Every structure is written in structure tokens, then in C-alpha cells.
Structure 1
């Protein structure tokens, strides 16, 4: 597998789908599945029957994973950018393609 270009804690923007244009922070990254979970984006609803554990039942809302290709890293001015890897001072760092700014550290 290639190294993850989007990691937990990154600020991203949604590029396609029902939440297109929304921004949020990555709360979970699943590189093996190629998916990410973004706070406040792609909220799914499950109807739950009353049970002993949850006597009220009702609606269960949660952020569902989305494919990593649907999100892009956000620059300081709020625009999407791709991410590339460069070697600086003997370390592999992520760099924003649009601005050339270092993302890590």
C-alpha cells in the first residue's frame, strides 16, 4: 500500500456527493480500506428498535466512512489541493501541491 496522503486530524473538503463543498476534520483514517471519516460530513441515520440496552429506541446518527478520493486537503485560504511527498532534511514530508507549504510539522 502507498503511504496515506490524508491522515487523522487533517482539515479536508468534500469534492463530490451530497456533502460537496463541506469542510471538516478527519476523525478516523482507514488506509487499508481507502476510506476516511470526517466530522459532521456523510451523516447516516439508523432506526433502532427499543431494547433492554436502549429502552427508548429511536434514531441513531453517525458519521459514515467515505472514500478517500472524495476528499482533498484544504490550504490556508480554504481551497482544495493535492498532496505530494518530498524529502526534506532526510525526512519524508507531505507538501501541498498548490502552495508548496509543508503539511507535517
Structure 2
């Protein structure tokens, strides 16, 4: 089955502390029934590290995964949240935005 959200897609966060933020999907994590995505600039946490041999310590910002149901793909034409559908064009299955009908990939 094809994925509705893929790496590199522009998405908007629908719920949570980062509601309304827009970012690019860095990675899609699909384990069993729990599907999660890592989005750039969203769900950022600080990681405090001790200095070790070869690296200095400090505070690092790290993006953590959020549930895939909490994000929606952005429509390429109107830049609004949209659902994703599939259709066949020239014998190739492509994704399209349901709001505008634009092909996503």
C-alpha cells in the first residue's frame, strides 16, 4: 500500500503544543500499527550531553517523532491542509491533493 505522507512532504501540525506549525517531513517511522513522523522544527526537545573524548558537551536541540494522525499534508496550490488521494495517470499511480486536485508527486 502506498503511503499518504512521505519524506520530503510539507505538512502542518493539527494538534498539540506545536499546532499550526509548518515543516518538512524528515523521516517516516512505521512500526506495526504505530506510525510516526519526524518534522523539522516541530516537537523540539533539548538534550543535555556531558563532554566525552572527542566531543564537547552542551545542550543539543533534537526533533522527536509525533503521531502521523496529528499532521496533514499541505496543498501545493493553496497552502492549506488537505487529504491525499490516489489516481492513475499514464499508467503510473500518483498522489493528489483532494482540495485542489493538484498532483503532489
Q: Report TM bin, short chain.
A: 0.7 to 0.9
Task: Give the whole-Å Cα distance in 1 for the aligned partners of 2:24 and 2:97.
Answer: 17
> What RMSD over aligned residues (CA atoms) do the two structures have, in Å?
1.5
* Equivalences, count: 102
Is the aligned partner of 1:73 residue 2:73? Answer: yes
Q: Which residue of 1 aligns with 2:7?
A: 8
Structure 1: state its 5+ residue gaps.
Answer: none
Aligned partner of 2:89 in structure 1 is 88
Runs of 4+ in 1 over 6 A off after TM superposition: none
Is the 1:4–1:31 Cα contact (8 Å) retained in structure 2? no
Q: What's the counterpart of residue 60 of structure 1?
A: 60
CA distance in 1, matches of 2:30, 2:9: 14
How far the C-alpha of 1:89 sits from its partner, in A, is 2.0
Structure 2 gaps of 5+ residues are none
Could you say what secondary structure the match of 1:20 adopts?
A: coil
Task: Give 1:35's aligned residue.
Answer: 36
Shift of 1:3: 2.0
Q: Which residue of 2 is the match for residue 22 of structure 1?
A: 21
TM-score, reference length from structure 1: 0.86
**CA deviation after TM superposition for structure 1 residue 58, in Å:** 2.2
